[in-house]
Chain A
Amino acid sequence: MSAIHSSAGAMPRTSRPLPKGRNRFERAAWLFMRLSGLALLFLALSHFGFQHIIVGTHQLTSEDTIVRWGLAGESITLSQLFWRLYYGVMVVLAMLHGLNGLRQVAHDYLHNKLVYNGFMAAATVLILVATVLGVIALIVGVNASGAAEAFAR
Chain B
Amino acid sequence: MSALVSTIRATLSYRGREGHWLWLLHRISGLGVLLFLILHVIGMSSAFVSIEIHDRLLEMYKTPPFAIGELFLAFGLIFHAINGTRIAILELKPELWQKQQLATRLSIIVVAALAAPTMLIMAVKSIQAFFGSAH
Closest approach, in angstroms, between the C-beta of B62 and any C-beta of chain A? 5
Closest to B54 in A: A62
Q: Is A131 an interface residue (CB 8 A)?
A: yes
Closest to A40 in B: B81
Q: Is B22 an interface residue (CB 8 A)?
A: no
Residues of A contacting B85 with CB < 8 Å? 37-38, 41
* B interface residues, tally (CB under 8 Å): 46
Q: For chain A residues 91-142, which have a beta carbon within 8 Å of chain B? A: 91, 94-95, 98, 101-102, 105, 108-112, 126-127, 129-131, 133-134, 136-137, 140-142
Closest to B67 in A: A57
Q: A37-B84, A52-B122 are in contact. Are A58 and B129 (CB under 8 A)?
A: yes
Q: Is A152 an interface residue (CB 8 A)?
A: no
Residues of A contacting B50 with CB < 8 Å? 143, 146
Q: Is A53 an interface residue (CB 8 A)?
A: yes
Closest to A71 in B: B51
* A interface residues, tally (CB under 8 Å): 50
In the complex, are the beta carbons of A72 and B61 less than 8 A apart?
no
Give A137 to B46 CA distance when docked, in angstroms: 7
Give A37 to B92 CA distance when docked, in angstroms: 14
Interface residues of A (CB under 8 A from B): 34, 37-38, 40-41, 44-45, 48-49, 52-53, 56-58, 60-62, 65-66, 69, 72, 91, 94-95, 98, 101-102, 105, 108-112, 126-127, 129-131, 133-134, 136-137, 140-144, 146-147, 150
What are the 9 closest A-B residue pairs judged by CB atoms, nearest first? A98-B34, A137-B45, A58-B129, A133-B45, A137-B48, A134-B41, A111-B3, A140-B48, A144-B51
